Amino acid sequence: MSRAIATAVILALIASPLLAQPEVEAQVNLDRMAEQQQLQDRIEKLVEMGMDREAALFLTALNEGGMEPSQLMLMLILAEEGGEEMLPLMLMNNAPGRSGAPAVVDRGDELLIVDGGTLYVIDMTTNTLKSKLKYAAPERLEDSGVFSLIAPLMNEGRDRARQTACLSNLKQIGLGFAMYMQEHDGMIPEENWVEALMPYINNRPVFTCPTRPDLPVAYALNGALLGANVNALPDVGQTVLAFESNLGGDAPVGGADAVPPEGVHEGGINVLFVDGHVKWMRAEAAIALLAAPVE
């Protein structure tokens, strides 16, 4: 064999795997595209059944992770009853084997809690456990074929969950205030309001917003109400009692200047009113409300 022919053979042997590589990659890409199309078809069927598209995405991801048919049926029922906000939590840090604080969604008469791979439904009218559901989730969500479809929604779902958990915190703080004021003739604490409420709440983590875990107490008492009597207030439904602040400390007290100007949750903050109701407000609206005199 001539040197030229030998060289040609060697080059052909070296080049053949390289030439075949794009073909292999093309087949992998085609398989991936086919998988994505099957998943998309599954999602579209759920949407046609009347399910919210985001809920259909998350349910499909859970199903990819090995959810049993009975679990899937229960999750379908939950989604139909307005429980879509819990689904992203189940795909994040609350799956079996993952660490993370329990996630809470307050739906008025019901409290939904995700913790350690179990969804708990608490009946708030009777303070009893209504039901619980253990669920399966992917060990590595990024290995699921549906991941690329839901990835853009993950951060959005996480932010909504944290905002909802923060609202739940303030609602519990509001209950603590209500019990304190009932036993103190309507008076709001004059000193260290956090410690004053602890006997009624007995849950220190409730003072921490999950969006800002570095602040042990993420909420401030409205300084205009320090030591005031709520029975003398003309409009308890429009008077701020506590709000998300940028002060920090053991028991923050402040006013309009203590509101984070950029907000905490999507440009706004959660606010607790004297009558016990809580709501999200734009930062500028909360600043204006706190700046108005309490008459």
pLDDT in tens, the chain (295 residues): 344 434 333 333 334 444 444 554 555 456 656 666 777 777 787 777 777 676 676 667 666 655 555 555 555 555 555 555 555 555 554 444 444 556 666 667 777 777 767 777 777 777 777 777 776 555 555 555 555 555 555 555 567 777 888 888 899 899 999 999 999 999 999 889 999 999 998 888 899 998 888 899 999 999 999 989 999 998 899 999 999 999 989 999 999 999 999 999 889 999 999 999 999 999 999 999 999 887 6
Nearest-Å Rg of the Cα atoms of the chain is 27
> Do 14 and 60 belong together in one domain?
no
Closest C-alpha among 188, 166, 180 to residue 271: 166
Do 138 and 59 share a structural domain?
Answer: yes
Same domain, 2 and 70: no
CA-nearest of 289, 161, 293, 220 to 281 is 289
Q: Is there a single domain that holds both residue 283 and residue 154?
A: yes
Helix (H) or strand (E) holding 12: helix 3-48
Question: Given this model, what pLDDT does residue 247 score?
Answer: 93
Instruction: Show which of 120, 145, 170 is a domain's final residue.
Output: 145
User: CA nearest 57: which of 188, 192, 189, 156?
Assistant: 156
Q: What is the pLDDT of residue 67?
A: 57
3-state percent helix, strand, coil for the chain, nearest multiple of 5: 50, 15, 35
Domain boundary among the residues 104, 129, 145 is at 145
Cα(267)–Cα(73) distance, integer angstroms: 37
Statement to judge: residues 182 and 252 lie in one domain: yes
- Domains of the chain: total: 3
Q: Are residues 178 and 284 in the same domain?
A: yes
Q: What range defines the domain where residue 94 resides?
A: 51-145
Helices (H) and strands (E) in the chain, counts: 7, 9
Is the pTM above the cut of 0.85? Answer: no
What per-residue confidence (pLDDT) applies to 137?
Answer: 54
Q: What is the pLDDT of residue 20?
A: 44
Say if residue 45 is in the same domain as residue 66.
Answer: no
Residue 219 shares a structural domain with residue 250? yes
**32 and 64 share a domain?**
no
Of 145, 167, 185, the one marking the end of a domain is 145
